[in-house]
Amino acid sequence: MRKDEAEQAPAARSRHGQRSFRGFMRIFLLQAALILLVSAACLLLGRVEAYSALLGGGLYLIPNLYFTWRALGNRHANSARTVLVSMYASEIGKMMLAVALFSATFLLVRPLSPFSLFGTFILLQLSGWMLQVKLFKTGS
C-alpha cells in the first residue's frame, strides 16, 4: 500500500461506517412510521389494542436503536478486535435492555393485549430483516 493510500484508508473506513449508520437510522424511521400505522389500525379494535401495539413497537425500537448507536456509532473501531468487542458489548446491552423493558411492561401495564403487542413486535422483526437485506443487498 502506498503512503497516500495508507493515509486515506481510515477516512474511507469512517465514511463507510457513517453511511451504513445513516442507512440503519433510515430503516428505524420507516419502522417508527409502521408502528404508528399499525397502532392506528389497532385503534379500530380498541384502546387497549392500540397502546399494546405502540408498546410492542417501542420494545423493538429502543433496544435496537441502542444496539445500532453502540455498535456502529463508534467511528474509531476499525480493527477486527475492537469491532468484535463493540458488537458483543452492544448485543449484551441490547439483550439486557429488552429483558428490562419486557419485564417492566408486563409488571406495570394492565390491561394489555398480548396479541397486538407480540404481533407488532414480530411484524417489526420481519420488516427489519426485509428492509436491511433490501438496503444492503448491493454489499456496500
Partner 1 sequence: MELLYIAAALMLGLGAIGAAIGIGILGGKFLEGAARQPELVPLLRTQFFIVMGLVDAIPMIGVGLGLYVLFAVAG
Site membership for partner 1, residue 73 (CB under 8 A): no
Site membership for partner 1, residue 136 (CB under 8 A): yes
Query: Quick one: 44 or 133, whose CB is closer to partner 1?
Result: 133
- Burial class of residue 55 (count of CB atoms within 10 Å of its CB; 0-12, 13-18, 19+): buried
Residues in contact with 36: Cβ distance below 8 Å, sequence separation at least 6, in sequence order: none
Q: Which three cell numbers stand for residue 104?
A: 417492566
Interface residue with partner 1, options 33, 41, 78, 89 (CB under 8 A): 78
- Burial class of residue 98 (count of CB atoms within 10 Å of its CB; 0-12, 13-18, 19+): middle
Residues in contact with 40: Cβ distance below 8 Å, sequence separation at least 6, in sequence order: 50
Q: How far is the CB of 125 from partner 1 (least distance, A)?
A: 5
Site membership for partner 1, residue 30 (CB under 8 A): no
Taking CB under 8 A as the binding criterion, the range among 30-38, 40-48, 98-106 that sits at the site for partner 1 is 98-106
Given a contact cutoff of 8 angstroms between Cβ atoms, the answer to whether 45 and 117 are in contact is no
Residue with cell 400505522: 37
Q: How far is the CB of 95 from partner 1 (least distance, A)?
A: 8
Give all strands (DSSP E) within 41-120, no chain letters. none
Interface residue with partner 1, options 29, 118, 119, 127 (CB under 8 A): 118
Interface residues with partner 1 (CB under 8 A) are 9, 12-13, 16-17, 20, 24, 59, 63-64, 67-68, 71-72, 77-80, 83-84, 87-88, 91, 94-95, 98-99, 102-103, 106-107, 112, 114, 118, 121-122, 125, 128-129, 132-133, 136, 139-140
